[in-house]
Amino acid sequence: MNTTIIIRQIKEYTGAYGKAYTLLYLIGAVTILTSCVKDDLYDTPHPDRGAVVVTTDWSGKSTEADIPQAYTLRIGGREQNVSAATNVFDALLAPGGYGLTVYNSPEGISIDGNKATVNPVDLTGAIEPHPGYLFASHQDISVVADDTLHVTAPMRQYVRRLDIELTATEGDYSRVQSATATLSGVASAADMATGDRSVAAQVTNAFRQDDNKFTIFFRLLGIVPTETHTLTVDITFNNGDTQRVVSDLTEAIRDFNNGTKPVKLTGNLLLPVEAGVTGATITGWNEVESGNGDAN
């Protein structure tokens, strides 16, 4: 309706019939103008669908783990690769409930749906001893039509570092040619939706020797809580002799899945005093969580 015509007609009616008719005509004009406006008003350009904006929270990570340069958003089977801290999901969604999973894809770990699996290194059941740091977040969201849902995803760190340091307090450590460690009962898979660790495996790595200090580290997806966690140390001496020392670390790392800071285990390595003598042992195991100096 043309408002100029209405105003002109108001003036004409005012002059011809006086003020009595002015109010009545104004009421009618307002009614006509109102009928020219669309009845349905929407908050967004997508009235039948909803948008989702996801912001990641990395405050729970350990200091030695870097925030990934890229990660993935998954909603309702659709995935989007992103890099910023806040991202608009690239699809408008029908109203309803969805699962939102946010995760990165570090080296040494394969992702299939919400299952993360550490890559094997051989056919013996050993897995990658130093995978990259996996972060993931999962939550149920509810999308509303004609609205934008803002979601914060607290990123959970799944991979944790384990350091082992042995100090040779007895025997001739200069005779050691090499030493390796194999830890059993570690998790090769994790459910990024529930946090459950499963599928027991083992990791193997070589010690680094510095005088009487023997050090090694692993990065673990976690441990399988129902398994026994056995550390097997194989030592080769420069004359060809070998020694095997087996230690039960189940109690020492029972809470490994419940934190992110590196855990350090220390022990005393007792070596044979001369060639041809057996009986190497490790005593005095102690657990230290790096970063706070507390010993158990």
Q: Indicate the pLDDT class of residue 30, thresholds 50, 70 and 90.
A: very low
Greatest pairwise CA separation for the chain in angstroms: 128
Place of tokens 């010690």: 207
Tell me how far apart the alpha carbons of residues 290 and 88 are, in angstroms, rounded to a whole number: 37
Residue 295, pLDDT above cutoff 50? no
Q: For a pLDDT cut of 90, what percent of the chain falls above it?
A: 77
Residue 210, pLDDT above cutoff 70? yes
Tell me how far apart the alpha carbons of residues 235 and 178 are, in angstroms, rounded to a whole number: 6
Q: Report the predicted TM-score, pTM, of the whole model to 2 decimal places.
A: 0.83
Which is higher by pLDDT, 11 or 120? 120
What backbone torsions phi and psi does residue 22 show, to the nearest 5 degrees?
-60, -45
Residue 290 has what pLDDT?
60
Query: Which tens digits make up the pLDDT trace of 279-292?
Result: 899 999 998 866 43
Other C-beta atoms closer than 10 Å to the C-beta of 154 total 13
What DSSP line would sit under 130-142, residue for residue?
A: SPPPPEEEEEEEE
Mean pLDDT across 6-31: 45
Residue 35 has what pLDDT?
44
What DSSP line would sit under 166-228, residue for residue?
A: EEEEES-GGGEEEEEEEEEEEEEEEETTT--EEEEEEEEEEPEEETTEEEEEEEES-B-TTS-
Tell me how far apart the alpha carbons of residues 202 and 229 are, in angstroms, rounded to a whole number: 9
Q: Under 8 Å CB-to-CB from 83, ≥6 apart: which residues?
A: 69, 70, 71
Tell me how far apart the alpha carbons of residues 9 and 11 are, in angstroms, rounded to a whole number: 5
Residue 296, pLDDT above cutoff 70? no
Residue 76, pLDDT above cutoff 50? yes
Residue 273 has what pLDDT?
82
Tell me how far apart the alpha carbons of residues 296 and 289 are, in angstroms, rounded to a whole number: 9
Residue 7, pLDDT above cutoff 60? no
Q: Any bridge partners for residue 281, and if so which?
A: 270
| 150's tokens | 């803002």
Q: Indicate the pLDDT class of residue 41, thresholds 50, 70 and 90.
A: confident
Residue 179, pLDDT above cutoff 60? yes
Q: Give CA 190 to chain center in angstroms.
A: 11
- Which of 96, 63, 100 lies closest to 82 in space, CA to CA? 100
Which is higher by pLDDT, 160 or 295? 160
* Amino acid at site 229: H
Mean pLDDT across 28-40: 45
Q: Indicate the pLDDT class of residue 40, thresholds 50, 70 and 90.
A: low
Q: Under 8 Å CB-to-CB from 210, ≥6 apart: which residues?
A: none
Mean pLDDT across 167-193: 97
- Which of 201, 204, 207 lies closest to 222 in space, CA to CA? 201
Mean pLDDT across 74-87: 97
Query: Which tens digits make up the pLDDT trace of 118-173?
Result: 999 987 889 999 999 999 999 999 999 999 999 999 999 999 999 999 999 999 99
Residue 130 has what pLDDT?
98
Mean pLDDT across 233-254: 96
* Amino acid at site 134: L
- Which of 258, 266, 263, 170 lies closest to 218 in space, CA to CA? 263
Residue 19, pLDDT above cutoff 50? no
Q: Regarding beta strands 156-157 and 78-82, do their DSSP bridges make them parallel or antiparallel, or are they unpaired?
A: unpaired
Residue 6 has what pLDDT?
43
